[in-house]
């Protein structure tokens, strides 16, 4: 019997001192930014599936490292997460410098 992992949101503000940089077209970063920029956002599973198509297979756990603050924030991007309607997975959205990220409550306000 496998244990279900506790879901943890990914919430961080973009680095205020960094101007967002465009990713190289077709790169993993470009794919991630496009997915997270969609109105409906993306789950870790969706990100993992999408970036697996341009390289080696990626698990959701490994995809999380591509969305980590140490990677995206230093490129000028932030992320906020909300539980989906079923409460089974987090949906992530890209955050800009004009958004306020509340990492304690997983809220982003404009």
Q: Is residue 42 part of a domain?
A: yes
Across the chain, how many H-helices and E-strands are there? 4, 4
Q: Is residue 77 part of a domain?
A: yes
Residue 70: per-residue pLDDT: 86
- Where in the sequence is the domain holding 64, given as residue range(s)? 28-101
The total number of structural domains that make up the chain: 1
Using 50, 70 and 90 to split pLDDT, how confident is the model at 106? very low
User: E-assigned strands of the chain?
Assistant: 78-83, 90-95, 100-102, 107-109
Neighbours of 70 (CB within 10 A): 8
The answer to whether 12 and 103 have CB atoms below 8 angstroms apart is yes
26-68 pLDDT, tens digit per residue, is 999 999 999 999 999 999 999 999 999 998 999 998 999 989 8
Q: Is residue 48 part of a domain?
A: yes
Q: Is residue 1 part of a domain?
A: no
Q: Is residue 9 part of a domain?
A: no
Q: Is residue 88 part of a domain?
A: yes
Q: Is residue 6 part of a domain?
A: no
d(CA 35, CA 39): 9
70-84 pLDDT, tens digit per residue, is 889 888 899 999 988
- 32: domain CATH number is 1.10.10
Q: Is residue 86 part of a domain?
A: yes
d(CA 12, CA 15): 9
């Amino acid at each position: 019997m496998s244990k279900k992992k506790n879901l943890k949101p990914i919430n961080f503000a973009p680095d205020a001192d960094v101007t967002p940089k465009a990713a190289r077209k077709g790169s993993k970063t470009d794919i991630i930014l496009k997915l997270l920029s969609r109105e409906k956002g993306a789950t870790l599973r969706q990100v993992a599936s999408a970036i697996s198509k341009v390289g080696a297979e990626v698990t959701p756990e490994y995809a999380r490292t591509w969305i980590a603050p140490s990677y995206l924030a230093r490129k000028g991007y932030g992320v906020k997460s909300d539980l989906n309607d079923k409460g089974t997975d987090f949906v992530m959205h890209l955050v800009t410098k004009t958004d306020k990220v509340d990492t304690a409550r997983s809220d982003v306000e404009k």
